[in-house]
Amino acid sequence: MAKSGNWERARDWITRNIESEALADGDRLPTEGDIQRLTGVGRHSVRRAVAMLAAEGVLSVEQGRGTFVRAKPPILYRIGARTRFRENLMSQGVTPSGDAIAAGIVPASAEVAQALGLAPGAQVHRVLRRNRADGRPISLARAFHDAARFPDLGARRQQGISVTDIYRDYGIPEYHRLETSFYARLPDGWEARELEQSAEQPVIVMCKTDIDEARRPIGFSESIWSAGRVRFSLEPDHD
């Protein structure tokens, strides 16, 4: 077992090098052996320090690639009645992007059916996408929409067309967020791989339901956010 205080010594060495910019954002962290040699602590102490800093979002442990410095502050994601991923990021000078992972039509689960006001088992689009900020994975989004109301939504989302544009084509010029809920957990293995983070780093799960101007549910989604890369701000409802 690592002696008390040893892992803090390794942590402080890493953070000092980041603060002095000897280790810049995106740099690969020195090897465990190098940190052991430079700090005089054991391997387990180094691993604990790296795990703690990764949980704080200072480091990113990317499977198959190594451990990297993430000196940029977390993105502030504002949540209100009208929340748009692209607008949120662009307002902070961050470039948003995303890629489709999978799409298909499935029977609605009880949770999805209730959120969308459908009968359980009704046909819904299920679209899984990975969202990026300046090219870095920030969240995974699993979205559900009524396949009868939006028959071509899945195919158009795979083409990269935004939900906002698709809604507009279906006569929905504006939509709002009805409710949002959060909880934290550790990621599944595939989630950690897609987010390019360690399975020991927590994620924040956000579930939301969107409604049209007639207050009819039009979309339900579950997003898995890399907890060290984002912080949320709940804005007052101005509507």
If asked whether residues 60 and 87 sit together in one domain, one would say no
Domain extent, residue 173, equals 75-234
Mean pLDDT throughout 186-213?
Answer: 90
If asked whether residues 109 and 179 sit together in one domain, one would say yes
If asked whether residues 35 and 128 sit together in one domain, one would say no
Residue entry with tokens 């892992």: 7
Please report the pLDDT score of residue 228 as a whole number.
80
Task: Please provide the average confidence, as pLDDT, over all residues in the chain.
Answer: 90
If asked whether residues 108 and 203 sit together in one domain, one would say yes
Residue 239 domain-assigned (yes or no): no
Residue 155 domain-assigned (yes or no): yes
If asked whether residues 165 and 126 sit together in one domain, one would say yes
Residue 163 domain-assigned (yes or no): yes
Say yes or no to pLDDT of 73 above 80.
no
Please report the pLDDT score of residue 4 as a whole number.
47
pLDDT per residue over 39-61, tens digit each?
A: 999 999 999 999 888 877 788 88
Total domains present in the chain: 2
- N residues, the chain: 239
Mean pLDDT throughout 132-147?
Answer: 94
Residue 229 domain-assigned (yes or no): yes
If asked whether residues 35 and 53 sit together in one domain, one would say yes
Q: Which residue has the higher pLDDT, 64 or 91?
A: 91
If asked whether residues 217 and 126 sit together in one domain, one would say yes
If asked whether residues 38 and 56 sit together in one domain, one would say yes
If asked whether residues 123 and 212 sit together in one domain, one would say yes
Tokens for 152?
């071509």
Mean pLDDT throughout 70-74?
Answer: 76
Please report the pLDDT score of residue 3 as a whole number.
47
Q: How far is CA 231 from the centre of its chain?
A: 10
Q: Where does a domain end: 18, 37, 69?
A: 69
If asked whether residues 102 and 159 sit together in one domain, one would say yes
pLDDT per residue over 4-23, tens digit each?
A: 478 999 999 999 998 888 99
Q: Which CATH number goes with the domain that contains 16?
A: 1.10.10.10
Say yes or no to pLDDT of 106 above 70.
yes
Mean pLDDT throughout 198-211?
Answer: 90
Residue 1 domain-assigned (yes or no): no
Query: How sure is the predictor about 238, in pLDDT bands with cuts at 50, 70 and 90?
Result: very low
Please report the pLDDT score of residue 237 as a whole number.
60
**Range of lowest pLDDT (1-5, 70-74, 210-214):** 1-5
Mean pLDDT throughout 94-109?
Answer: 94
Residue 52 domain-assigned (yes or no): yes
Say yes or no to pLDDT of 186 above 90.
yes
If asked whether residues 167 and 99 sit together in one domain, one would say yes
Exposure string over 62-81, b if 16+ CB within 10 A, otherwise e = beeeebbbbeeebbebebee
If asked whether residues 154 and 171 sit together in one domain, one would say yes
| Percent of residues, the chain, with pLDDT higher than 70 | 96
Say yes or no to pLDDT of 81 above 90.
no
Tell me the CA distances in angstroms from 163 to 49, 141, 153, one per residue in order.
Answer: 41, 12, 8
- Inter-axis angle of helices 6-19 and 32-39, nearest 10: 100
* Inter-residue long-range contacts of 105-111, CB under 8 Å, 24+ positions, other chains counted: 105/147, 105/154, 108/144
Q: Is 69 within 8 Å of 23 (Cβ atoms)?
A: yes
Q: Which residue has the higher pLDDT, 156 or 63?
A: 156
